[in-house]
Amino acid sequence: ALPISQAGRAYFDGVAKVGEITRVSPVSKELGTVLIEISNAHKQLNHSLEESFTKFHKEIVSELEKKIELDVKYMHATLKKYQTEHRSKVDSLERSEADLKKLRRKSQGVRNAAKYDHKEAEVIETINSRQSDIQKFIAEGCKEALLE
């Protein structure tokens, strides 16, 4: 039980004892009876409040805690998926950039460098496309995160 509930019970037990003591005297008999009734009414009210709190905790708070746990698991899984996809896209971009460097090194020492121009343009187009893809992926990820 909560400390405040225990303090309330102790207080109303004390009120009931005062009521029992005063009921013995013919002069304060009615006062004693009223004190005992007040004590009993407050004990019942306190008990009802504790039951309501326990029921609220079981039905609402516990369910919310379960839902939060599921949300956290979902968010971790979504983050991991996002990170994996992002890493894949970045790896692909880095491979294309490495291909471009190799191609440029090959074309530097060759007399007929023009034959590499078309291939270089294709690789640059691929790099630009992958950069754009990453930017769209990040923007969509942000949008999805905000909607969650």
Nearest alpha carbon to residue 43 among 19, 18, 12, 15: 12
For 96-102, what is the mean pLDDT?
Answer: 94
Q: Write the DSSP symbol of residue 1.
A: -
Express each pLDDT in 12-71 by its tens digit: 889 888 988 888 888 888 888 898 899 889 889 888 988 888 898 888 988 999 999 999
Tell me 108's DSSP state.
H
| Residue 35 · residue 14 · CB < 8 Å | no
The verdict on pTM exceeding 0.75 is no
Alpha carbons 102 and 120: distance in angstroms, whole number: 10
User: Is 93 exposed, middle or buried (CB count within 10 Å of its CB: 0-12, 13-18, 19+)?
Assistant: middle
For the chain, give the mean pLDDT. Answer: 89
- pLDDT, residue 137, reads 94
